Amino acid sequence: MYIRSKLEREFPFFLIFKAFQEKLLFLIRFFQSPETIGSIFPSSDALTSKLVTQIAPSRSPKKYLEVGAGTGAVTDAIIKKLGPKDTLDVVERDPALCCLLKNKYKNPNIKIYEKSIEDFEESDYDGIISSLPFNQFSLDFVKGVFFKYLKMMKPGGFLSYYEYKYPEVCTRLLTEQRQRLEKIRNFKTEVGQKFDEKIESVWWNLPPADVRSIQKKGY
Ligand SMILES: C[S@@+](CC[C@H](N)C(=O)[O-])C[C@H]1O[C@@H](n2cnc3c(N)ncnc32)[C@H](O)[C@@H]1O
């Protein structure tokens, strides 16, 4: 799906240079906007491969949504698993990161939207993969996004997202907002209990994370 340019094919070091450029851009955007970017490093392969386990080959075309693509670490993992007729919508609010994504992914099956998920109105997704740093946001925002995701998913569709382990440690140091975190954690647990949540640890990521996935009932 991701077609390599002639330059990348002939000069493999150019790929390394591009990967470095992407990490640098991610880091710069983190320092400019830490609350919305939410982490210093893009997700590891170990994390991204766990996030996309529910994308499976299928006879009928599937429609997927990725939210908060950053420099495309998760997008790459999704694309590897897409069938030829599957489609992927990518929503990323950061203009610089969005510009990178639009240059990187030119396949007509992949659409990149430069907007906040709050302003994105599409539905009927077979799967939603979200990298939003929920622990950085207000409880109302988190609730709004979860209800939106549930509305956007087809019955039987899935939502996968990750959260970093031990958020209190970072948050106490940075913002001292433990109560807000506690409420967000309780809300996510409530949602998880309603939708048969599965949680898997990924230690090989900086910071280590939990991948959580739920399924919308009612086939
Ligand atoms: C933790 S980074 C994840 C980047 C990438 N998916 C990864 O795992 O390496 C979170 C991303 O979500 C984006 N983001 C934050 N708030 C958003 C919103 N309301 N709508 C869409 N994207 C948002 C940020 O710009 C950032 O790129």
Q: How far is the CA of 111 from the centre of ligand 1 (A)?
A: 16
Cβ of 116 below 6 Å from ligand 1: yes
Q: How far is the CA of 217 from the centre of ligand 1 (A)?
A: 27
Q: What is the domain class of 44-215 according to CATH?
A: alpha beta
Torsion 101-22-200-208 (CA) sign: negative
- Smallest CA separation from ligand 1 atom 18, residue: 116
Q: How far is the CA of 44 from the centre of ligand 1 (A)?
A: 15
Lowest mean pLDDT, pick from 1-5, 42-46, 47-51, 161-165: 1-5
How confident is the model over 56-79, as pLDDT tens digits?
989 899 999 999 999 999 999 999
pLDDT above 90 covers what percent of the chain? Answer: 70
Say if residue 100's pLDDT is above 70: yes
pLDDT above 70 covers what percent of the chain? Answer: 89
Q: How far is the CA of 21 from the centre of ligand 1 (A)?
A: 18
Cβ of 72 below 6 Å from ligand 1: no
The string of DSSP codes covering 131-165 is ---GGGS-HHHHHHHHHHHHHHEEEEEEEEEEEES
Mean pLDDT of 186-193: 96
SS3 state of residue 108 = coil
- From residue 164, alpha-carbon distances to 39, 110, 150 in Å are 9, 28, 22
Mean pLDDT of 153-172: 87
* pTM exceeds 0.85 for this model: yes
pLDDT band at 1 (very low <50, low <70, confident <90, very high): very low
Q: What is the pLDDT of residue 84?
A: 94
Mean pLDDT of 133-155: 96
Q: What is the pLDDT of residue 70?
A: 96
Q: What is d(CA 132, CA 32) in angstroms, rounded to the nearest whole number?
A: 17
Cβ atoms < 10 Å from Cβ of 153: 22
195 and 214 Cβ atoms separated by less than 8 Å = yes
Mean pLDDT of 159-165: 96
> What rounded mean pLDDT belongs to the chain?
90
Domain with CATH 3.40.50.150 in the chain: 44-215
Rg (CA), the chain: 17
Mean pLDDT of 19-40: 87
